[in-house]
Structure 1
Amino acid sequence: MVKLLIADDEKYDREAIISILNGEFGNKLEVFEARNGREAIEISEQYRPDIVITDIKMPGINGIIAIEEIKRSLPNTYFIILTAYDYFDFAVEAVKNNVKEYILKPFGRLELVDKIRKAITYVDKEKAKRKSEIENAEKLNNLISAMENELSYYILSNTFEAIDEQMYKDYLNLTFENTCSMVIEIDDNTGLCNNQTKKKIGEYIKGYINLKYRAIGTYRFTKELVYFIEAPMDRSDEDKKITVVKLAVDIRKEVKRLFELPINVGIGRCYTGLSDIYISYKEACASLDKRGDSNITHIDNIKENQNDSGHNVDSNKLSLFKDIEKYIIDNMVEELDLDTVAAKFNLSCYHFSRTFKEVVGCNFSDYINIVRIKKAKEMLRDNSKSIKEVCFSVGYNDPNYFSKVFKKYEGQSPTEFRR
């Protein structure tokens, strides 16, 4: 049903229009009456008419002013001017306010019916158009949400070979530059935080982050809530760290206020490119794991607060892992993975990983890179080998990946270091 408002100070004119409309359109129209501009505005706010027929000259607020006010809250309303004053100035004002039709008194039945039928057709088309737009927007939002979860899965599993990175950039409005990971653990000692609550908290945090930064997030593949946030480009590394930590502080306050649940937050460094964002995710997980009494921990704070390697570690562990370190150094050009090296020394992967970090001071993959980059720096000082040859000589198979890792640990590319 289409809602129509008639605003006219002449009761006879209102009744004549209503009689014609009822006879022609019957239940297709729901008709409201207003005796002046003020009533037209009030009725419009309450009932939100699709079509407004208004006289121009009315006591108090005239028709033009009433149209201006109604348009503020109902911009899609179809306006028809009805007046006995055939003045050019009124017509100009009407056009400015996007009035669709202009009827002069006295009006004929056929003219009125024709223009109302035209108005109804317009309103029906606009409603259909808006419905289609809403449905399309809903489909797009569902697609975006699915793509966020899909991309998050690829990052979490560190599998990027078969994906179209540019497609994700376009749809998600992300550049994957200066992006860090934030991993959030809901600290629920009561056990009352079910999946539905987790989802609500996860969606709220994502919306909160998106008020300031471009970000995606997921809560489907891990117990924790995971987010990937693009930090401001024009800031130093220290400023980016401060910015993201402050964001985490604000998120924690909001979640506590709204959901009455405390959270713990781990944050990784900012990186560029999907494969390096995975590194940030692992750093965020490590930050959460090693947070101690702190509710919010950045990976740099863990590095800064660690004791020197080997302190408070028993001599048997120290001796064993000195042998492991030597094995890694001697075999750096080989494909070294945690499972193989752990098996070599008759250790379980879990025990190997935990104890390695305890003794050496960093995780297994970091140590492999540190050893290789250290050797690469020695070789780069000698110009007899190309950068590509150095890359292969220290155990990397891809010069581009070698350059990325080198820059991560040294802050400059191999070419810049050689200069």
Structure 2
Amino acid sequence: MKALIVDDEQHVRDAIRLLIDWNEFGIETLLEADNVAEAIACVEREEPEIVFTDMLMPGPSGIRLLEWLAERYPRTKTVVISGHDDFEFVRNTVKFGGIDYILKPIVEDELRAAAAKAVDCRKREDLALQTSRERSIEVNQLKPVYWDKMFSNLAGDPSYYDTIQGSLQREFGLAADTRECRVAVLRLSALDRVIRDKFASSPDLLFFTLSNICNELLREAAAGYAFRFWNSDSEIVLLLWRRLGDAEALLARINAGLFAALQGRAAFGLGSVRPFPGGVAESLREAQRALKRRNLLARGGSVFAYSAAEAPTSSPALRLGEYEAGLRLAVRSGNEERIRHAVSGLFAAIRGLSSISEEQLELWQYEFALQRERWQQELFGGETERQPSMALAAELAFEPPVAVDGTLSVAAWEERFATGMIALARRVADFQHRESRIMFDIAAYIERHYDEEIALQDIAARFFLSREYISRKFKQDIGVNLSDYIERIRMDKAKLLLLNRSLRIAQIAATVGYKDEKYFSKVFKKLEGKTPGEYRREHEEGDAPAERQPGASP
């Protein structure tokens, strides 16, 4: 904080300087002037918060300085120090906002009290001003959000206009007799890539920037207002209520403004002229449809006006289902050349199209999503809890990249898709290898626990797989049914034990996991063609045969 001492007598200025500790009041700089002209120059240069001034000096009086300060620097606090107990001086001190009037000779306590009062008054004003500025900033930050919400409500419910009509007149000058409107839509996906790349990490900042640029030009023309549409996470809506016939030219100027500020353009959808406020929603739907029907192969940065005569796209120009089998087989083969060949066939057909609309692209993406579900079952065996997440796999997206100029880049799209399919083939191979290893782990588990009661449900729980999946996959990878494999392991162990005549058949049955000797004998005869006793008698003499590998034919 700075203070200025104005007096034509040096000893008075020295006394004021030395009587009190100015640092105590937060005053770090003390300035001096010996006349009003010099004081005015000092105030303009240094802008002190507090001024101590005499009244009678050569040249203009202290009254002139007080008057000038009140006019030019009204927040500067003044304290008069005068040798004259003059009513006119006191009256002018009060008139021009002086804090105190001190008579010479100066008394320390009076000077200290006046300084404290002036400093306190200035600090309170500074705090109030700061608070007011902060509130103003908050209001200005919240105001666009408020109007985004109000206009979004109006777009969804025309009756909401009655609630905000007065506010629209005061804030935007929207005349009460406005009878027509027109709506345009700017969608983030319809921006040139250069703009989206700049704001990739901050979509909120992108919305803020786009809205500001649009509204700057709309305000100049007093034509409408642009707002972030709350019913969509990717659209800015421009509600026009004046110069409706010049809407396309106005949007072209906005595009020029976008290019000047961001080096990119946007595609706008434009609805037809509709009654206000009842037709806002319909004009908005038209603008959205016009944007969806634009040709993504053509350069962006244009205005696409809705035409009722234009037939909507009811089906894609080609169906992905025609290429699904080839793509799926190529992925299963794991051969990169074969995958690229299958992908090139699909994209050769896409290149043959003269137009690709957003509507068509959405239909393709929907069709591909269905294919993806089928692939989920076929390529990964239907075990959803074990398979890789296809919903998040980049290789399974059918989203085309956008060129710098806003057009759909078919060449880059083909390369992205082919690369993704190759990566998917690797996932499938890795998954199948891993799943096959699990089946061998199950087989090893059975060999270690053949003498226990082994149920399919227990194995499913231990290996976190469904019973149906184990039954199917075990037969596919090991070559025999799971139950047959268990029985074969037990029979092979039983044949070795039968060579030991000191063991009774009932003991052998229990040892290999059968509590019922008769059932053991029945199974043994079914697999070996003879009873356990017959097998023992045939092998009473000679060496025992080598143990057969699990799963081998008897």
Q: TM-score, normalised by structure 2?
A: 0.43
- Are the equivalent residues in 2 in contact too, given 1:180–1:230 (CA < 8 A)? yes
How far the C-alpha of 1:137 sits from its partner, in A, is 2.9
Alignment partner, residue 183 of structure 1: 185
- Are the equivalent residues in 2 in contact too, given 1:183–1:226 (CA < 8 A)? yes
What is the 5 A alignment of 1:378-389? none
The residue type equivalent to 1:181 in the other structure is: V
Query: How large is the RMSD of aligned CA atoms in angstroms?
Result: 4.5
Residues 202 and 68 of structure 1: CA distance in aligned 2, closer, same or farther (over 3 Å): farther
What is the 5 A alignment of 1:219-238? 221-228=232-239, 231=242
Residues 309 and 27 of structure 1: CA distance in aligned 2, closer, same or farther (over 3 Å): closer
1:12 aligns with 2:11: yes
**Matches of 1:198 and 1:266 in 2, distance apart?**
19
CA offset digits 1:361-390 (Å, max 9, x no partner) = xxxxxxxxxxxxxxxxxxxxxxxxxxxxxx
Question: For structure 1, which segment, 31-40 or 290-299, has the greater mean C-alpha deviation from structure 2 after superposition?
Answer: 290-299
Residues 53 and 144 of structure 1: CA distance in aligned 2, closer, same or farther (over 3 Å): same
Q: Which runs of no fewer than 5 residues in structure 2 stay unpaired?
A: 312-358, 364-554
Residues 169 and 27 of structure 1: CA distance in aligned 2, closer, same or farther (over 3 Å): same
Secondary structure class of the residue paired with 2:3 = strand
Secondary structure class of the residue paired with 1:204 = helix
Q: Which runs of no fewer than 5 residues in structure 1 stay unpaired?
A: 232-238, 311-349, 355-419
The residue type equivalent to 1:215 in the other structure is: Y
Alignment partner, residue 51 of structure 2: 52
- Are the equivalent residues in 2 in contact too, given 1:188–1:261 (CA < 8 A)? yes
Alignment partner, residue 377 of structure 2: none
Alignment partner, residue 327 of structure 2: none
1:202 aligns with 2:210: yes
Match of 1:282 among 256, 280, 285: 285
- Are the equivalent residues in 2 in contact too, given 1:202–1:218 (CA < 8 A)? no
Residues 3 and 181 of structure 1: CA distance in aligned 2, closer, same or farther (over 3 Å): farther
Residues 165 and 95 of structure 1: CA distance in aligned 2, closer, same or farther (over 3 Å): same
CA offset digits 1:382-408 (Å, max 9, x no partner) = xxxxxxxxxxxxxxxxxxxxxxxxxxx
The residue type equivalent to 1:49 in the other structure is: P
- Are the equivalent residues in 2 in contact too, given 1:206–1:217 (CA < 8 A)? no
Alignment partner, residue 110 of structure 2: 111
Secondary structure class of the residue paired with 1:192 = helix
Secondary structure class of the residue paired with 1:52 = strand
Alignment partner, residue 124 of structure 2: 125
**Matches of 1:10 and 1:143 in 2, distance apart?**
55
Secondary structure class of the residue paired with 1:29 = coil
1:272 aligns with 2:256: no
The residue type equivalent to 1:193 in the other structure is: K
The residue type equivalent to 1:204 in the other structure is: N
**Matches of 1:134 and 1:14 in 2, distance apart?**
37
- Are the equivalent residues in 1 in contact too, given 2:252–2:303 (CA < 8 A)? no
- Are the equivalent residues in 2 in contact too, given 1:52–1:77 (CA < 8 A)? yes
What is the 5 A alignment of 1:65-84? 65-67=64-66, 70=69, 74-84=73-83
- Are the equivalent residues in 2 in contact too, given 1:271–1:280 (CA < 8 A)? no
Identical columns (%)? 20
- Are the equivalent residues in 1 in contact too, given 2:229–2:236 (CA < 8 A)? yes
Match of 1:255 among 258, 263, 268: 258
**Matches of 2:219 and 2:56 in 1, distance apart?**
47
Match of 1:218 among 228, 234, 243: 228
**Matches of 2:229 and 2:3 in 1, distance apart?**
48
- Are the equivalent residues in 2 in contact too, given 1:266–1:288 (CA < 8 A)? yes
How many residue pairs end up in the alignment? 297
How far the C-alpha of 1:100 sits from its partner, in A, is 3.7
- Are the equivalent residues in 1 in contact too, given 2:211–2:236 (CA < 8 A)? no
- Are the equivalent residues in 2 in contact too, given 1:6–1:31 (CA < 8 A)? no
Match of 1:34 among 27, 32, 35: 32
How far the C-alpha of 1:183 sits from its partner, in A, is 2.9
Secondary structure class of the residue paired with 2:102 = strand
How far the C-alpha of 1:283 sits from its partner, in A, is 4.0
CA offset digits 1:52-93 (Å, max 9, x no partner) = 223344556654554555556643222233344666665565
**Matches of 1:73 and 1:26 in 2, distance apart?**
28
How far the C-alpha of 1:170 sits from its partner, in A, is 4.5
Residues 260 and 58 of structure 1: CA distance in aligned 2, closer, same or farther (over 3 Å): farther
**Matches of 1:66 and 1:206 in 2, distance apart?**
49
How far the C-alpha of 1:101 sits from its partner, in A, is 3.3
- Are the equivalent residues in 1 in contact too, given 2:270–2:303 (CA < 8 A)? yes
**Matches of 2:79 and 2:276 in 1, distance apart?**
57
- Are the equivalent residues in 2 in contact too, given 1:84–1:105 (CA < 8 A)? yes
What is the 5 A alignment of 1:271-350? 271-273=275-277, 276-286=279-289, 288=291, 297=303, 299=305
How far the C-alpha of 1:257 sits from its partner, in A, is 2.6
CA offset digits 1:15-34 (Å, max 9, x no partner) = 212222317x6253334213
CA offset digits 1:313-368 (Å, max 9, x no partner) = xxxxxxxxxxxxxxxxxxxxxxxxxxxxxxxxxxxxx67x99xxxxxxxxxxxxxx
How far the C-alpha of 1:135 sits from its partner, in A, is 3.6
Alignment partner, residue 166 of structure 1: 163
**Matches of 1:56 and 1:290 in 2, distance apart?**
80
Secondary structure class of the residue paired with 2:279 = helix
**Matches of 2:301 and 2:16 in 1, distance apart?**
69
How far the C-alpha of 1:139 sits from its partner, in A, is 4.0
Secondary structure class of the residue paired with 2:106 = coil
How far the C-alpha of 1:119 sits from its partner, in A, is 1.9
**Matches of 1:34 and 1:67 in 2, distance apart?**
16
How far the C-alpha of 1:198 sits from its partner, in A, is 1.8
- Are the equivalent residues in 1 in contact too, given 2:151–2:227 (CA < 8 A)? yes
The residue type equivalent to 1:183 in the other structure is: V
Secondary structure class of the residue paired with 1:49 = coil
Residues 193 and 56 of structure 1: CA distance in aligned 2, closer, same or farther (over 3 Å): same
